[in-house]
Structure 1
Amino acid sequence: MNNQTIEKLKNMRLGAMARLHQQNVEQNKLEGITCDEYLAILTDHQWEERENNKTERLIKQACFRQTASIADINYRNERNLDKNMFLRLSTLDFISRKENIIICGASGTGKSYIAQALGNQACLYGKKTFYGITSRIFKRLKLCKVDGTYLKELDKLNKMELLILDDFGLQALDVQDRESLMDIIDDRHGKRSTIISSQIPVTAWYEIIGGEGTVADAILDRIVNSSHRINLEGDSLRKGKI
């Protein structure tokens, strides 16, 4: 009877429940447990495994470059990173409010790590997240325009509850990059959250975006006005703790 139950659980894709039940039967751990209690134990075990698998899948699909954690953030004074403010951001309320985050600072100040730590936190909360180097995203979108999959690729990005555009502005945008950025930002504005990290101060973004002033104005208006700002300072942290 137990073997049949275990097989049926496996066939219903309740593997964690099946394994725990088999273990309890083999180790004779069923004495003194009511039916309701035992059902709750099996159900909780199956639920926890599914949630863990979902988190692992979200982290894998996010394509992070680093294993970053909120717990490992360094708040020393010279970084100009307000701990209370950042911990409030780590609750992810900004995602619920469809707000953005802009992280600026010199090379090595930990912009990418902080962005990925927030992204990892979002995955832990079950949020679909994607991390990418901005220039590489633009290159991929150019290829998608050639093979006719641009709208499909754009839709994938726009479905992400949190999109992280890292290393924004390292080079000036050309016409296609500008169009892609406008499409991404316009579709996400007021609907999804975006984190942008850059070595370039926001005051110089207008020139980097280039093109007609109305396009740059439209992009910056949608990004900046609904963003929390983090301006990192201090020396490079690449050899120390992030």
Structure 2
Amino acid sequence: MRRPRTNRTLLREEISQLLKKMAFSQTAVQLCEEEGTAPMEQFLLNVLQSEMASREQARRARFLREAAFPVYKTLEGFDFTSVSLPPALSRDELLSMQFVAEKKNLVMYGPVGTGKTHLATALGVEACNRSMRTKFFTAAELVVRLSEAHKEGMLDKLLKAVLRADLLIIDEWGYVPVDHQGAQLLFRVIADSYEQRSLILTTNLEFSKWGSIFTDDQMAAAMIDRLAHHGHILLFEGESYRMKHALMRQKDQIKLPMA
């Protein structure tokens, strides 16, 4: 006959799960069953929970460092009034980071200064806080690093490090033209990420012009195909935030004539 669950049974089950998460043996559970008292088991559970919380905090801090964000941004207070989400992606779904778990891509398209980099960075920070490996690059920076690694025979090593990420953010996509080799290297990142991880691209360049930036219409079409197959396009509109606030500062500095 199956024995009823008791509080101590639940305690031992929690202890067992934490031991597994921390890659420890189940010896402590056996000792609890043989020699432990309820207060001892509760104390052990408290210790393991504290250790797990400490490890999670350290992991999040490490992921934030490794992501290499140029600035720290969060989702708190972000103004979505200038962002149009596609019907298949609600704001709650976006902020839940479910798209990363589903290995879907986001292409953030719109004029300079409308919040694309802010939102991409904030989502990246949220991913790190949820223990998801994240990497942030500008497109120009990524091309330079890939090209240098290619010259030094270290391309595969760099790609392996970059593609460990659950979420890869490439900012300012298409802002600067790249040569044919640079386009091929970017294409390899896109191709190797297809259905393996989530990408976020920020760009002010419409799809029809990608061929002129990446030197090859067929390669650009192949990039777009892979990004769009499992992805969403977020449209950003409105006045540049930086320009608007720069003009506000200028107005504040104007001295009114004395009456």
Residue number in structure 2 paired with 1:206:
211
What residue number does 1:225 align with?
Answer: 229
Size of the aligned set, in residue pairs, is 205
Tell me what 2:43 maps to. 38
The C-alpha deviation readout for 1:116-174, integer Å capped at 9, x for no partner, is 11111111111110001110110111111111101111111122111000001012221
Alignment match, 1:73: 78
The CA RMSD measured in Å over matched residues stands at: 1.9
Contact in 2 for aligned 1:206/1:220 (Cα 8 Å) = no
Q: Equivalents in 1 of 2:200, 2:170: separation in Å?
A: 6
Task: Give 1:80-159 correspondences, 5 Å limit.
Answer: 80-82=83-85, 85-159=90-164
Worse-matched range after superposition: 79-88 or 108-117:
79-88
Structure 1 partner of 2:194: 189
| Aligned counterparts of 1:158 and 1:233: Cα–Cα separation in 2 | 31
Residues 132 and 200 (structure 1), Cα distance of their counterparts in 2 relative to 1, 3 Å cut: same
Task: Give the aligned partner of residue 7 of structure 1.
Answer: none
Question: Amino acid of the residue matched to residue 61 of structure 1?
Answer: E
Partner of 2:173: 168
| Structure 2 counterpart of 1:15 | none
TM-aligned CA distance change 1:185 to 1:82, over 3 Å: closer
AA partner of residue 93 (structure 2)? R
Q: Which AA in structure 2 matches 1:216? A: A
1:54-73 matches, within 5 Å, as: 54-73=59-78
Distance 1:236 1:155 in 2: 36
Q: Deviations over 1:35-77 (max 9, x none)?
A: 122112221111111100100000010001121112221123x
Unaligned stretches of 5+ residues in structure 1: 1-32
Matched, 1:237 2:241: yes
Structure 2 residue runs of 5 or longer lacking an equivalent are 1-37, 247-259
Sequence identity percentage: 25
Tell me the SS of whatever aligns to 1:40.
Answer: helix
Contact 2:107 2:201 in 1 (8 A): yes
Deviation at 1:82, TM superposition (A): 4.7
For the residues of structure 2 that align with 1:128 and 1:214, how far apart are their CA atoms? 31
Determine the C-alpha separation between the residues in 1 that align with 2:218 and 2:240. 36
SS in 1 for 2:90: helix
Residues 104 and 195, structure 2, Cα contact 8 Å, conserved in 1: yes
Give TM-score scaled by structure 2 length: 0.74
